[in-house]
């Protein structure tokens, strides 16, 4: 009668506080430079060491520049944050993959690709997009700074057990429709608060047929529906992806691990607190038009009108469209684009670069478009070069930058100027997210590539 979530959660309960939270054991803590300094300072003040340092992995990603990483960081704030993480990791005896280390990259890309993220684990990080790791069949969620300190000190965390939701997507995704489109479609239907308080399991034929990279994208965006996390039950796709990776179990330990991982699925008669179903046939390539990820639509559709909205909703909707410079009821196809960003923990994996290159091949980047193509890790960068994608992209007028969070958020040099339109494969389009006054349209790598080569918002299916 148990869900996948129940099985993993229950296996990690240390104790249940009477009429209070659960004390949950944590298998893996990921630390980056933004949310960890205060936690380390708190440990230092209390004279504490990390309880299980071998379970903690640190790397900078938010503040790292995506060029000249072999030189000192110019921005003083970014430099301080990156240097502080390196110092703290050394002092507390933690594994640290610094800039230019071949294992560096965005923490939510590196964890799965190195085999550090495994099925059945509990995983936390001081970052909301920790939900990404749930794609591997793990319970993974973002935590606050005081909770980071709690995990460092005890390898446990106090958590209220979330409710469970299953979202089933029946049928096969159509031509040009990616995991990113699937996630943006769900958000457009459920809004950015539709899954608040729930841990979501994604199921159904469309989800099962996604590659590991696609599942990572889908789970990454769970948080944008308000969910505590998202997950996909591990299967042969998962096992094939993990096998042979650096930190994955080897030999006899591998066989034992897979035997256990095969038990990690919701029972036939498992009861979820909420069930939602969608039909893959209803989904086309998506694009956002507003200032939250739930304000999305099919690329051939028109921005909704305010008909039937209450006064408060109308005011909010009007403010959002005012910021974006759009009108209710208008189409977006053909609108000029200034910037294109491929990357982030949402779409910075090898499959995303393959998709972008498939549209760019034999074409040229539009002259007026500034394009930032940023691998999620040095491993992705190496794969791009091994497969010759860098040459395909160079011929089309694109260059590959160095790994990092880049233009996902305005915490490094890659900022979109005020008033400019950016088609972005990242996860958030809030006001100022990509830079003060920047206007962000979230889309898949295929749609981003279509905009980059045509210079306007384009249905990628017309170029496939």
pLDDT recorded at residue 410? 86
272 Cβ contact list (under 8 Å, min separation 6): 3, 164, 165, 166, 201, 266
Angle at the Cα of 63 from the Cα atoms of 443 and 103, rounded to 5 degrees: 85
pLDDT recorded at residue 142? 98
For 86, counting Cβ atoms within 10 Å of its Cβ (0-12 exposed, 13-18 middle, 19+ buried), the class is middle
Per-residue pLDDT tens, the chain, 464 aa: give them: 999 999 999 999 999 999 999 999 999 999 999 999 999 999 999 999 999 999 999 999 999 999 999 999 999 999 999 999 999 999 999 999 999 999 999 999 999 999 999 999 999 999 999 999 999 999 999 999 999 999 999 999 999 999 999 999 999 999 999 999 999 999 999 999 999 999 999 999 999 999 999 999 999 999 999 999 999 999 999 999 999 999 999 999 999 999 999 999 999 999 999 999 999 999 999 999 999 999 999 999 999 999 999 999 999 999 999 999 999 999 999 999 999 999 999 999 999 999 999 999 999 999 999 999 999 999 999 999 999 999 999 999 999 999 999 999 888 889 999 999 999 999 999 999 999 999 999 999 999 999 999 999 999 999 99
Structure tokens at 281: 């046939």
3-state secondary structure of 88: helix
309 Cβ contact list (under 8 Å, min separation 6): 317
129-139 in b/e form (b: 16+ CB < 10 A) is: bbbbbbbbbbb
**Is residue 274 within 8 Å of 198, Cβ to Cβ?**
yes
Q: How far apart are CA 351 and CA 373, in angstroms?
A: 13
pLDDT recorded at residue 333? 98
What is the tens place of the pLDDT at every residue in 139-148? 999 999 999 9
Q: How far apart are CA 460 and CA 176, in angstroms?
A: 7
E strand or H helix that includes residue 341: strand 339-342
Reported residue count of the chain is 464
pLDDT recorded at residue 302? 98
User: Half-sphere exposure of residue 129, counting CA atoms within 13 Å on the CB side?
Assistant: 22
pLDDT recorded at residue 76? 95
Angle at the Cα of 363 from the Cα atoms of 358 and 366, rounded to 5 degrees: 115
DSSP letter (8 states) at residue 280: G
Judging by DSSP bridges, how do beta strands 22-25 and 13-16 pair with one another?
antiparallel
Q: How far apart are CA 290 and CA 221, in angstroms?
A: 17
Q: How far apart are CA 315 and CA 47, in angstroms?
A: 51
Q: How far apart are CA 225 and CA 292, in angstroms?
A: 10
3-state secondary structure of 257: helix
Helix/strand/coil (H, E, C) string of 218-234? Answer: HHHHHHHHCCCEEECCC
Can you list the domains of the chain with their CATH numbers? Answer: 4-161 (3.30.499.10), 163-234+266-282 (3.40.1060.10), 286-463 (3.30.499.10)
User: Half-sphere exposure of residue 197, counting CA atoms within 13 Å on the CB side?
Assistant: 5
E strand or H helix that includes residue 22: strand 22-25
pLDDT recorded at residue 411? 87
Task: Please state the pTM of the whole predicted model.
Answer: 0.97
User: Half-sphere exposure of residue 77, counting CA atoms within 13 Å on the CB side?
Assistant: 7
Q: How far apart are CA 337 and CA 100, in angstroms?
A: 32
What is the tens place of the pLDDT at every residue in 371-406? 999 999 999 999 999 999 999 999 999 999 999 999
């Amino acid at each position: 009668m148990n869900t996948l979530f129940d099985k993993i959660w229950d296996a990690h309960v240390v104790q249940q506080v009477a009429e209070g939270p659960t004390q949950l054991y944590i298998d893996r803590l990921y630390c980056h430079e933004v949310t960890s300094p205060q936690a380390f300072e708190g440990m230092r003040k209390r004279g504490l060491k990390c309880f299980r340092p071998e379970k903690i992995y640190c790397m900078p990603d938010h503040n790292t520049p995506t060029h000249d990483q072999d030189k000192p960081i110019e921005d003083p704030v970014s430099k301080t944050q990156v240097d502080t993480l390196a110092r703290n990791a050394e002092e507390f005896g933690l594994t640290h993959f610094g800039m230019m280390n071949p294992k560096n990259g965005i923490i939510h890309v590196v964890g799965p690709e190195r085999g550090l993220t495994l099925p059945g684990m509990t995983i936390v990080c001081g970052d909301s997009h920790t939900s990404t790791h749930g794609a591997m069949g793990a319970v993974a969620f973002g935590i606050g700074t005081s909770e980071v300190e709690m995990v460092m000190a005890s390898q446990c965390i106090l958590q209220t057990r979330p409710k469970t939701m299953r979202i089933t997507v029946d049928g096969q995704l159509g031509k040009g429709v990616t995991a990113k489109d699937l996630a943006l479609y769900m958000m457009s239907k459920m809004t950015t608060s539709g899954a608040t308080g729930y841990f979501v399991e994604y199921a159904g034929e469309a989800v099962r047929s996604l590659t590991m990279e696609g599942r990572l994208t889908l789970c990454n965006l769970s948080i944008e529906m308000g969910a505590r996390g998202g997950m996909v039950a591990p299967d042969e796709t998962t096992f094939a992806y993990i096998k042979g990776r650096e930190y994955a179990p080897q030999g006899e330990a591998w066989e034992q691990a897979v035997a256990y991982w095969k038990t990690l699925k919701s029972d036939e008669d498992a009861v979820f607190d909420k069930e939602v179903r969608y039909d893959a046939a209803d989904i086309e390539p998506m694009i956002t038009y507003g200032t939250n990820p739930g304000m999305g639509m099919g690329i051939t559709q028109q921005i909704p009108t305010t008909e039937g909205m209450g006064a408060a909703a109308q005011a909010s909707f009007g403010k959002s469209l005012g910021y974006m410079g759009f009108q209710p009821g208008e189409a977006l196809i053909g609108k000029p684009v200034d910037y294109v960003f491929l990357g982030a923990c949402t779409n910075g994996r090898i499959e995303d670069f393959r998709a972008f290159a498939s549209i760019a091949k034999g074409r040229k980047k539009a002259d007026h478009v500034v394009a930032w193509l940023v691998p999620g890790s040095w491993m992705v960068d190496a794969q791009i070069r091994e497969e010759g994608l860098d040459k395909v992209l160079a011929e089309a007028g694109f260059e590959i930058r160095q790994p990092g969070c880049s233009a996902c958020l305005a915490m490094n040099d890659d900022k979109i100027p005020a008033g400019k339109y950016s088609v972005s494969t990242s996860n958030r389009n809030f006001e100022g997210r990509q830079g003060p006054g920047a206007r962000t349209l979230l889309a898949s790598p295929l749609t981003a590539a279509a905009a980059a080569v045509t210079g306007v918002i384009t249905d990628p299916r017309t170029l496939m």
